[in-house]
Amino acid sequence: MSLFSFSWPFQSRIRLLSWLVSLLVLSGCSATPKFQLLQDVLSAGLSPDEVSVLMIPINTKQRELALQPDRLLQPASTMKLLTTVVALDELGVNWSGETQIRVQQSDVHRQTLAGPLIVKGRSNTDLSYAELNFMLRQLYDQGVRHIPSGIQVDRTQFNPQRPAPTNQPFDEAPRARYNHVPDPLMLQQNMHWLSLQSDMAGVKGWFSPSWKGLQLEVSGLKLVHQRCDSFSIHQQQFSVQQLSSGEWQIQVRGEFPIQCQWQGQLELLDRDLNLQLAIQNDWQQLGGTIGNKMIFKAAEANSQLLVQHLGRPLPEIVYRINKYSDNALARLVYANLASTATALPTTMTTTEASDRFIDDWLRQRQISAAGLVVDNGSGLSRRARISARQLAAVLAAGWSAPYSAEFVASLPLAGVDGTLRQRLKNGPAYQRARLKTGTLRDVTALAGYVWDQQNQPWIFVGIVNSDQAAQKGRALLDKWVQQLAGQ
């Protein structure tokens, strides 16, 4: 069958001719690995308009290999490469977030506080339930016992301070860990561990941590005859309500298979309620008392810092973001880029300020930002757009930067760890490629570095946007990585 027997529009045929000419020119360079990019795309059953790939040698004068490298596509999680390179460059390798416990100056050394307990968040990536408990233990050991005025929460590092609870969810799993939208006071990404188990009589449920004054009601789950592995927790209905006793109840309604067990992490509670219950429970277990009032405003300028917890340094956060594609950490780091932006209107949101800062960073390095849409910095977005050439330029900047060792080591090693642990395990690319993966519905991508058989490094960026991305695009990108590593 002729390549031109497809019922493509005239303009697509013209583009196809230009690509063929380009590939013939490339094939004439004997020092350049021989690829049949366009033929591979067609053989995979994909349209050329759905694929963008760019391979650039870093240390040699070989020609780049490319197919539509300037086309703007959805990058999925490969967008995290832009976020982490800019963060390492501008925030610095010593950056870390923190959580502070403060009191009004007049309350220092008092057993009973006249004012509220002030909890100030400044993007601590590592504030877990255990660390919060230890912070409160330190406060108790300093002599504080009674906090009748309750809790004051300071999230003013971001604008808005926290995402609106009514925001449209990204997909059908808004309670899943990967969908958590962070704010400056992120307590264990607001996750709880939920377990459900059934027999012929009914369903039982447990959750952890199980705060005093919080109940789980699963009687609304109807037993059904279906396979346990077909159960989806995200198809069930969750609601939280306050009972007449003052306690809170999580209700789960829907269907659950007979003789089945399910467990996993979910965002069960609103983050404000979760923080309040965590502090109240921990404080009461220590032997103190605390009021129920909760207010949200900035800490007073003359307030006194009593306890502080620092998160891990940025290179360790970047490692987690890129190795395991942690969306919440990527979004949190991206939001912190706004703090480095200067001379911006005070009405500008944190996201807008971060976008402006990234545009400036690219322009200073003579990298085109035309058409770029970062959105939230994680790639978990349908709006995000970037070209293979733009992403390759970011990878080039990361390769030559003082923090290069930290950045390159954060990328999954083919067939060994992170999101590539079960991928590229066989063939020449095994342990010879460090690549960030990207996966969304109708999107698959790979971007990073590949070493050929002469141990020469190449920048590789491949993006497929197609309803066949998972079935056909992933195998195509893997094929090109293997071929590049085998040259």
Quick one: pLDDT at residue 72?
Answer: 98
Say if strands 457-465 and 51-57 run parallel, antiparallel, or are unpaired.
Answer: antiparallel
pLDDT at residue 11, rounded to an integer: 52
Q: Which pLDDT value is given to residue 345?
A: 79
Is the pTM above the cut of 0.85?
yes
User: SS3 of 320, please?
Assistant: helix
Phi then psi dihedrals of residue 328, to 5 deg: -65, -40
- pLDDT recorded at residue 23: 46
What pLDDT score does 362 carry?
A: 98
Helix orientation angle between 271-286 and 129-141, rounded to the nearest 10 degrees:
40
Per-residue confidence (pLDDT) for residue 344, from 0 to 100 = 72
DSSP H helical segments within 325-451, as ranges? 327-336, 350-364, 388-400, 404-409
- The C-alpha torsion from 268 through 271 and 274 to 279, rounded to 10°, is 160
Beta-sheet strands, E only, within 70-134? 72-73, 98-103, 117-122
* Number of residues written out for the chain: 487
Question: pLDDT digit of tens for each residue in the chain (487 aa)?
Answer: 333 333 445 455 445 445 544 444 444 344 577 899 999 999 999 999 999 999 999 998 899 999 999 999 999 999 999 999 999 999 999 999 999 999 999 999 999 999 999 999 999 999 999 999 999 999 999 999 999 999 999 999 999 999 998 888 999 999 999 999 999 999 999 999 999 999 999 999 999 999 999 999 999 999 999 999 999 999 999 999 999 999 999 999 999 999 999 999 999 999 999 999 999 999 999 999 999 999 999 999 999 999 999 999 999 999 999 999 999 999 999 999 998 877 777 789 999 999 999 999 999 999 999 999 999 999 999 999 999 999 999 999 999 999 999 999 999 999 999 999 999 999 999 999 999 999 999 999 999 999 999 999 999 999 999 999 999 999 999 999 999 999 9
Crossing angle for the helix pair 80-90 and 314-324, to the nearest 10 degrees: 170
Q: In angstroms, rounded to a whole number, what is the distance separating the alpha carbons of residues 325 and 130?
A: 24
Give the other-Cβ count within 10 Å of 16's Cβ.
18
Predicted confidence at residue 31, as pLDDT, reads 57
Assess contact for 122 and 155: CB atoms under 8 A: no
Which domains does the chain possess? Answer: 3-92+316-486 (3.40.710.10), 98-310 (no CATH)
Please check whether residue 75 is in contact with residue 384, taking contact to mean a CB–CB distance below 8 angstroms: yes
**pLDDT score, position 347:** 83
**Quick one: pLDDT at residue 10?**
45
